[in-house]
Amino acid sequence: MATTPASQASLLLQKQLKDLCKNPVDGFSAGLVNEANIFEWSVTIIGPPDTFYEGGFFNAIMSFPEDYPCNPPVVRFTSEMWHPNVYADGKVCISILHPPGDDPNGYELATERWNPVHTVESIVLSIISMLSSPNDESPANVDAAFNVNSACLQKQWRESREEFRKRVGRCVRKSQEML
């Protein structure tokens, strides 16, 4: 009997969960949202030291497709998040979470996009890196990347760092209150 892509994905995700339970990684914790569904994970990311996000505890959901690892999961913050690479609905926008192959818009190289070698660990570590170093060249959240009150629409991350820091600080405090 041939295995289906969903059963192969399920086995791989079970292995990755087991590995993370045996060998936890600093900076985040991960587990299943519901024990009956291996395709939906709950992740808590600790705000990286020496960043505006330090001290925060940011929750996210990772939703894996049935053909994982051929295609990437969707990662969505459920905690309030103010970041140029996070959409208003919390969805994370980083290259490794974009479908494999050539970018139809020509912004990313195929080598920057999803690759089946990525694991839950490498995905979350990439998101932690994103928190440390936003990519304001390709923002998902235009309001976070730009100061909309400015007539010139100067990028908030670049030009209004103090305003950006204050807004992120509110998100950090709110994440701490949710504990």
Q: Which residues are catalytic?
A: 93
Backbone φ and ψ for 60, nearest 5 degrees, come out as -145, 160
On whether the CB atoms of residues 96 and 115 are closer than 8 A, the answer is yes
Beta bridge partners of 74: 63
| E-strand stretches of the chain | 28-32, 40-46, 57-63, 74-77
Task: Give whole-number Cα distances, 117 to 85, 112, 113, 122, 170, in Å.
Answer: 22, 12, 11, 9, 36
Q: How far is CA 23 from the centre of its chain?
A: 21
| Angle between helix 5-22 and 120-132 (nearest 10) | 70
DSSP string, 86-122: B-TTSBB--GGGSPSS--TTSSS-GGGS--TT--HHH
